[in-house]
Chain A
């Protein structure tokens, strides 16, 4: 029996999508400046909140800064392009052509997402040093570093699945521009990138915990910053896995219905 690797179409689609990212170079630089300004501001605000105190609620000022910095990097590099792609294809009717291709529509979209991340990867050479300059990125212990790599990968999957689901909403809403914009603004907050979930009031914490956004940013970042260590890391990782399971099931259901719901615009 031969082991088959991924279908070659995967590579081709990923390659094309990676190349396309280059068009957005200028926009990405400006976006980087903007996210670093944001990081600078929340650093100043949190520093003012801490004042002379070393810790608040048992969270050290240094730990918090590392947490905020890694969160900012993650928010910057985790893409929601898949929602844009799916949404646009449904709105323009392009989806009809995509559907008759012999390679599944959802796979095509995931390939576009992966490719765009790969094409974007060189930007890390700029993003990480800027983040270290504005914030602080102390490396965690070896165990935490390994757990972080794993947790980041899970966070990437949660991101992809969540935005794919939002994109599929287009089969019912036709135009998801408003919904996507609303969710991307809210997700910056709900993912814990500005205020770690530790500091949130109970009511808000409940909202955050029933939404998938914290599995994208907060959980990996709390591992990176060393606030969660040892066996306590199992909880967050399991929660991420659970989100991947839930989102996969929901997408499967939604996708089955969406194909019957399809409206092709124009001729």
Chain B
């Protein structure tokens, strides 16, 4: 409980700080919104014109994109401080987190709040909301729960591939290029039905960098299209567990690697 109130204090302080520059704040949110929805504009224009890809219509692909962007937003809104991990480690700011009486990981995660990330969440919720009114889903309590779990699971999956690579910062002092690469892979590939890719790429997107589990796998359950999956349909109900598993591994890796932290000594 005390931990939660401490986190809250850190977050509100950070918001107050950013609100000092009104115009910059607005430009930041606008940028976040454009940056995260431009991929959807591409889908919209292409599918608005040419009907479907791989049997998926515009509103169905919009559902995928809305799910993945909302997941991404859930992650970035909560954990945006990780963006700055290279600087935090290099400048020795990490010292401060080690000597405070709060565990290091929650401080790093919840210690600040970047308002620009609201653009991600806002864009995601809007696209998801509109898509849900357009697709035909045979709703059940189970599917509602799955959707909620999939959004959180997707956030964990997306985040695991940020937190995991971030662990290398303690040895190499730089992880930004690798994190950027994974951010790109998740951002670009998770909003499409993985079935449109050829065998090799499909294997990579399912089992090596499992972006397929962010939106496509749970969405096949929602849309009753599990026949497309390369495994039994009932297994797709458990797709959010992929996120739980990956974030656990990434968290363990990060804490373990943090032992190699050396302060900048100034």
Which A positions have Cβ atoms within 8 angstroms of B?
Answer: 26-27, 30, 33-34, 37-38, 40-42, 44-46, 48-49, 56, 175, 178-179, 181-182, 185-186, 188-189, 194-195, 199-201, 204
Inter-subunit contact B38/A49 (CB<8 Å): no
Partner among A26, A38, A199 whose Cβ is within 8 Å of the Cβ of B188: A38
Mark B residues whose CB is within 8 Å of A.
Answer: 24, 27-28, 30-31, 34-35, 38, 41-42, 45-46, 48-50, 53-54, 177-178, 180-181, 184-185, 188-189, 192, 196-198, 201
Q: How far, in angstroms, from A45 to B53 measured CA to CA in the complex?
A: 7
Q: Pick the contact of B54: A30, A41, A48, A56 (CB < 8 A).
A: A48
Point out the residues of chain B lying under 8 angstroms from A26, CB to CB: 177
Given A45-B196, A178-B28, do A199 and B177 touch, yes or no (CB 8 Å)? no
**Assuming the A-B contacts A33-B181, A34-B181, A37-B184, are A195 and B42 also in contact, with contact meaning beta carbons closer than 8 angstroms in the complex?**
yes
**Residues of the B chain whose Cβ atoms lie less than 8 Å from the Cβ of A38:** 184, 188
Given the complex, which residues of B lie within 8 Å of A45, measured CB to CB?
46, 53, 192, 196
* Cβ-defined contact, B50 with A49, below 8 A: yes
Candidates A179, A185, A199; contact of B38 at CB < 8 Å: A185
Name the prevailing secondary structure of the A interface residues.
helix
B30 surroundings in chain A (CB, below 8 A): 178, 182
When distances are taken between beta carbons in the complex, the residues of chain A under 8 Å from B180 are: 30, 34
CB-contact partner of B177 in A27, A42, A48, A189, under 8 A: A27
A48-B54, A181-B31, A188-B38 given; A201·B45 CB < 8 A: yes
Q: Assuming A56-B50, A189-B38, A195-B46, is B188 touching A37 (CB within 8 A)? A: yes
| Complex partner residue of A178 from B31, B49, B185, B198, CB under 8 angstroms | B31
Contacts A/B (CB < 8 Å), 5 sampled = A34-B180, A48-B54, A48-B196, A186-B38, A194-B42
Q: Give the distance to chain B from A59, nearest Cβ to Cβ, in Å.
A: 12
Instruction: Give Cα distance in the complex from A189 to B189, angstroms.
Output: 17
How long is the Cα–Cα vector from A179 to B192 in the complex, in angstroms? 29
- A204 in contact with B45 given A175-B24, A189-B38 (CB within 8 Å): yes
Taking a contact as CB atoms under 8 Å apart, the answer to whether A34 and B45 are in contact is: no
- Inter-chain contacts of B198 with A (CB < 8 A): 44
Assembled-state Cα–Cα distance A122/B85 (Å): 32
Identify B184's interface contact among A34, A42, A185, CB under 8 A: A34
Residue of A nearest to B50 (CB): A49
Specify the chain A residue showing the minimal Cβ separation from B51. Answer: A49
Contacts of B196 in A (CB 8 A): 44-45, 48
Whether A41 contacts B189 by the Cβ 8 Å rule is: yes
Closest 6 CB pairs of A and B: A178-B27, A48-B53, A30-B177, A48-B196, A49-B50, A34-B184
A186 to chain B, nearest CB (A): 7
- CA distance in complex: A204, B46 (Å): 12
Q: Are B181 and A186 in contact (CB under 8 A)?
A: no
Q: How far is the CA of A33 from the CA of B41 in the complex (A)?
A: 23
A175 CA to B28 CA, complexed, in Å: 12
Minimum CB–CB distance from B236 to chain A (whole Å) comes to: 22
Given A45-B196, A185-B38, the answer on whether A201 and B49 have CB atoms closer than 8 Å is: yes
Name the CB-closest residue of A to B48.
A201
Q: A44-B201, A48-B54, A186-B34 are known contacts; what are 6 more A-B pairs with Cβ within 8 Å?
A: A27-B177, A45-B192, A178-B30, A181-B31, A185-B35, A195-B46
**Most chain-B Cβ atoms within 10 A of its Cβ — which of A41, A42, A194?**
A41
User: A49 near B53 (CB under 8 angstroms)?
Assistant: yes
Query: Closest CB of chain B to A267's CB: distance in Å?
Result: 22
Inside 8 A of B177's CB, which chain A residues have their CB? Answer: 26-27, 30
* CB of A184 to closest CB in B, whole Å: 10
Residue contact B34 to A182, C-beta cutoff 8 Å? yes
In the bound complex, what is the Cα–Cα distance between A186 and B201 (angstroms)?
28
Given A45-B46, A56-B50, A199-B46, is A189 in contact with B41 using a C-beta cutoff of 8 Å?
A: yes
